[in-house]
Amino acid sequence: MASFDDFVKPYGLVDKVDAFGYLDYLRTQPDGRAKRGQVILVTADTPLKASRGEGKTTTTIALIDALRERGVDAAAVLRQPSMGITAAGSKGGASGGGKSSLAHPELVDWGLCGEMAAIENAQNLLVSFAEKAVDEGVLDTILLPRVSEVPSRALRQIMVDRGKADIPERVVLTPTCELMQIVVLSRSMEEVSRRVAAMTAGTKDGRPVLFGSFVDLWRITNMLSDAVKPAMTTTQAGSPVYVHCGPFANVSLGIPSLVSVQMACARHDLVVVEAGYGADAGAQKWLDIAAREFGAQWPAAAVVVTRATTWRDDPALRWRYPFHVRRMEGLGIPAFPLVNLWEGEDGEVDDLRRTTDQLGLRRPIIGNLFRDGGSALAAQLDDFIEVLQEGRSHGAQAPAEALRSHKGMDLVDQLRWIASSAYGVPAGRVVCGPDFMDSLAAARALCKGQGLDLNDLVPVAVKSPATMTDDDSAPEAERTVTLKKVEAHTGAGLIQVNLTKSLTTPMPKIV
Amino acid sequence: MASFDDFVKPYGLVDKVDAFGYLDYLRTQPDGRAKRGQVILVTADTPLKASRGEGKTTTTIALIDALRERGVDAAAVLRQPSMGITAAGSKGGASGGGKSSLAHPELVDWGLCGEMAAIENAQNLLVSFAEKAVDEGVLDTILLPRVSEVPSRALRQIMVDRGKADIPERVVLTPTCELMQIVVLSRSMEEVSRRVAAMTAGTKDGRPVLFGSFVDLWRITNMLSDAVKPAMTTTQAGSPVYVHCGPFANVSLGIPSLVSVQMACARHDLVVVEAGYGADAGAQKWLDIAAREFGAQWPAAAVVVTRATTWRDDPALRWRYPFHVRRMEGLGIPAFPLVNLWEGEDGEVDDLRRTTDQLGLRRPIIGNLFRDGGSALAAQLDDFIEVLQEGRSHGAQAPAEALRSHKGMDLVDQLRWIASSAYGVPAGRVVCGPDFMDSLAAARALCKGQGLDLNDLVPVAVKSPATMTDDDSAPEAERTVTLKKVEAHTGAGLIQVNLTKSLTTPMPKIV
């Protein structure tokens, strides 16, 4: 009789789990030895600046340490940080901080077991195969971008085959690429393979050409054989943590792989899942993409992280935090405010309690998690644990409406729905930018050419992580959302939609 | 009391060894518990085509399996193949074949534990830091190329920062880059760090600028922390094999890391080391670079692999194989011919024996290693084992002349020496191509600007793997070697010298 351990191999300082194999094994086990863990979504306020984190990873780590201190079998699922960005010093790592840290932050921050690098090489190899297809007349225009895990301003716009074909290209950051999305969403290597086959390589005489028509798919799946396995490690306090895939909720999914969450749910009672940036980014994507369209777990509760400064630094943006919390509650997800205190902010606890009280939110969980770790939270988790126990005994589920697929709905209507539900901008104030309809028409034609209805692709908002609308500081009645352009990721089954203040560059520079 | 096992961690299907730590530990152990293994160099005839291997890896694997069958404590040290090239299908992997294979060829061929990818990312990050230095006015011209593990014709010549600075660049294949050379040659992380600091980033107003002047070196060494650890695996028959670093003996070092060989020598009586391409490539580099200038082990014997076809396919090139074998013997290295038979060639054994006999070579070891594995060799190893035992009891060493450093000798004289000793072309027929002296003067000035004498850098020949001279088919008296250009790798302490039919493109295409 197999067990979980048969799917685990030590990998230096961490373990790697053959999650595809383990989930397959569970499916064939009639005795149903798997747990049915509840997912807690850790999300946050929209950050005041794109580079500013509210401390979601630190919170996630402190939270599971505290829950385990309370006797709850809790685990965390984190996203793998972008090594390039960390190495470059553009951003801290994503392995917590202080007492709320992973056992091996240096490893997680610096490339883990090479997962991101393997995905980078595999997508770049697809581009090289596309080049060969151009040489052989199978393709005339390559649409898939090359990727780099290392940020470089100079790679934003490049010209390849200089002096010969002189082809303009752009390079995108690995964690945001279509192949990363495929690894995040797939539940088996067969699914990875099928999705890679359905990726659009480019066009020939204007008609789409898919990778499946000219690439040996086993070459790509071979390259990904270790990258698809979640890493397993612990917090410094020894709580179990899984790390797998996808940062950058502003330009991509920004959530950990679906298999890593599914596996964790089969092994633990509570699974704390971190989603990137604010609730308008990673949480919106977990709910509207992962849960609704790809069968991921609907959260039994949410923890919405913020800093004490939310209510003082920018009064014009104060509306965002309660908006996020209320949106979760409106979806039937008990949403707990959590204030991650910085040094010198201990005196603000009473004020913060008053503020959340006035806003009609649940009693906030407050602590300096960097300094005090999970112990700062353990005593404050009575309500939280109770709500989850109630949810479990009542079999709380997602509202049927929240899980009804939007596939087939007109894309612009889908985007109006997102703007209204996640950004607070009604349908009437969602406007199309000057190039949007052309971009949409082109993408629709490309989809049609491969027998796909563009409306069946799931939209992924691409926008600044620091704003939800064209101007978050404007009065509510004047806020708008401008749609700018689309790009189909046919393999992942997604359509990237640039909106509001979307990034104009595909790659960060070193700062 | 520590032991070797304390420096080993499982890493998926293989183990990784902290070789730096283990060698440090051995240095501090007064009881000298280390073995003093003899190195056997596996080299080959110059291949008839660049893409053709003679079967060195297959031979290396069969040889240690056979030696162990004979009761000898033998291990192999292999180079890590270029995953990109394998993935692209341009070349087979480098994990042997048939019965002479590694236990996990799929792993070794497809990226191993991400070592190559980490080196790629680290060198690319150095380029990104150089970009930042340009933005900050510290640098005006970047000289270090970006690297890619994935081959791409279109990346040979690129233009970055398109539409703004429009800077022409080239991309080189990861296994050939300076950072890979540094990992091959370094014996501690401090040495890696020191060498990275001494890498030339570029120039400011014509004066060289080193990376050490503006990069936090710990960022680079952090990225390399797993990549510097050799992988440890076995053949399918269970013989121990270490795999670490550097293919491509035609354009770079083409030898495994020096620490992996040193570590293997501390643990085994016989260590079979594979060097890339023909004896004019990897073996020349092992002897003249690794052993003479960087303190690597002088071989106690060599095995010179060839195919049965060597003596029939191209009569004009027949001179090369005996030249290689005699060169080794001339250096006091007993050199055993080994003929790696293909299917259908079993009937040629007698003919092959006659040929080697006529050439005055040692009795050849002959077998179909793919089909029969080490068993095909075991009975033929009497002479081989005897020679090594004699060498051991007589304390055979390298001739003093062979180990006397060439540092400080005029570079052109050093190259004349290589042409004469390794390619059979006397000094007088080594000619300078039209741009060579300019290229040399520029490199000399760049070195001088950082207080370095170019003549202290060790030359690395960059040439087609299929030729040693401008025309190997020409009569002996007419063969020449043309020097084309140089490029200093100041961090690695090497100077790349393009000669004869050197590659004109820095990167292969997918074929």
| Tens digit of each residue's pLDDT (9 = 90 or more) over B154-195 | 999 999 999 998 999 989 999 899 999 999 999 999 999 999
Of B11, B110, B159, the CB nearest to A158: B159
How many pairs of residues across A and B have Cβ atoms under 8 Å apart? 165
Q: Do A223 and B156 touch (CB under 8 A)?
A: no
Give B231→chain A minimum CA distance, Å: 11
Give B289→chain A minimum CA distance, Å: 31
Q: Which residues of B fall within a CB distance of 8 Å from A89?
A: 216, 219
Is A453:A464 a contact under the CB 8 Å cutoff?
Answer: no
Preferred mutation among A115, A160, A189 to probe B, highest tally of B CBs within 10 A: A160
Tell me whether A174 touches chain B (CB under 8 Å).
no
Looking up tokens 């490339």, which residue turns up?
A111
The pLDDT of residue A28: 86
What letter represents residue A117's amino acid?
A: A
Give A128→chain B minimum CA distance, Å: 5
Of B127, B148, B158, the CB nearest to A158: B158
Instruction: Report pLDDT digits (tens) over B217-250.
Output: 998 999 999 999 999 999 999 999 999 998 888 8
Nearest C-alpha in A relative to B511: A132
* CA distances to A69, A287, A398, A406 from A403, in Å: 34, 9, 7, 9
Q: Among the listed ranges A153-167, A277-291, A391-405, B261-275, which one has the minimum average pLDDT value?
A: A391-405
Provide the pLDDT confidence category of residue A290 given band limits of 50, 70 and 90: very high
Q: Within the 70-99 window of chain B, which residues sit less than 8 Å (CB to CB) from chain A? A: 83-84, 87-89
Nearest to A117 by CA among A183, A46, A69, A162: A183
ipTM at complex level: 0.92
Give A174→chain B minimum CA distance, Å: 12
Our measurement of the distance from residue A263's CA atom to the centroid of its chain's CA atoms, rounded to an integer in Å, reads: 17
* CA distances to B24, B31, B264, B270 from B35, in Å: 15, 11, 9, 10
Q: Do A117 and B113 touch (CB under 8 A)?
A: no
**Mean pLDDT, residues A437-463 taken together:** 97
Q: Within the 358-377 window of chain B, which residues sit less than 8 Å (CB to CB) from chain A? A: none
Q: Do A219 and B89 touch (CB under 8 A)?
A: yes
Of A114, A127, A156, the CB nearest to B117: A114
Tell me whether B211 touches chain A (CB under 8 Å).
no
Nearest C-alpha in A relative to B117: A117
**Mean pLDDT, residues B63-92 taken together:** 84
Taking chain A, what is the end-to-end CA distance rounded to the nearest angstrom?
A: 53
Of A110, A152, A165, the CB nearest to B222: A110
Give A52→chain B minimum CA distance, Å: 21
| DSSP secondary structure letters along B114-151 | SHHHHHHHHHHHHHHHHHHHHHTTS-SEE-SPEEESS-
Q: Which residues of A fall within a CB distance of 8 Å from B163?
A: 157
Q: Which residues of A fall within a CB distance of 8 Å from B87?
A: 121, 125, 219, 222-223
| CB-CB neighbours of A504 under 10 Å | 8
Q: Which residues of A fall within a CB distance of 8 Å from B225?
A: 106, 110
* CA distances to B76, B114, B258 from B122, in Å: 28, 12, 20
Q: Which residue has the higher pLDDT, B274 or A96?
A: B274
Give A34→chain B minimum CA distance, Å: 25
Is B444:B454 a contact under the CB 8 Å cutoff?
Answer: yes
**Mean pLDDT, residues B260-284 taken together:** 96
Q: Give φ, ψ of A93 to 5 degrees.
A: -75, -165
Q: What average pLDDT does chain A have?
A: 93
Q: Which residues of B fall within a CB distance of 8 Å from A148?
A: 124
- Which domains, and CATH codes, for chain B? 35-104+228-400 (3.40.50.300), 115-223 (3.30.1510.10), 405-499 (3.10.410.10)
Provide the pLDDT confidence category of residue A31 given band limits of 50, 70 and 90: low
The pLDDT of residue A261: 98
Provide the pLDDT confidence category of residue B85 given band limits of 50, 70 and 90: low
**Mean pLDDT, residues A393-410 taken together:** 88
The pLDDT of residue A214: 96
The encoded tokens of residue B344 equal 């259908």
Nearest to A267 by CA among A2, A3, A1: A3
**Mean pLDDT, residues A58-86 taken together:** 91
Nearest C-alpha in B relative to A121: B150
Q: Which residue has the higher pLDDT, A391 or A228?
A: A228
Q: Within the 106-145 window of chain A, which residues sit less than 8 Å (CB to CB) from chain B? A: 106, 110-111, 113-114, 117-118, 120-121, 124-125, 127-129, 131-132, 135
The pLDDT of residue A90: 52
Tell me whether B105 touches chain A (CB under 8 Å).
no
Q: Within the 1-20 window of chain B, which residues sit less than 8 Å (CB to CB) from chain A? A: 9-13, 16
- CA A57 – CA B111 distance, rounded (Å): 30
Of B88, B164, B216, the CB nearest to A125: B88
Instruction: Report pLDDT digits (tens) over B333-373.
Output: 999 999 999 999 999 999 999 999 999 999 999 999 999 99
Q: Do B154 and A167 touch (CB under 8 A)?
A: yes
Q: Do B132 and A9 touch (CB under 8 A)?
A: no
- Whether B92 has a pLDDT exceeding 60, the answer reads no
Preferred mutation among B160, B219, B232, B233 to probe A, highest tally of A CBs within 10 A: B160
Preferred mutation among B150, B221, B505 to probe A, highest tally of A CBs within 10 A: B150
User: Cα B310–B315–B318 angle (5° rounding)?
Assistant: 50
Provide the pLDDT confidence category of residue B283 given band limits of 50, 70 and 90: very high
Instruction: Report pLDDT digits (tens) over B296-315.
Output: 999 999 999 999 988 778 89
Q: Which residues of A fall within a CB distance of 8 Å from B84?
A: 121, 125
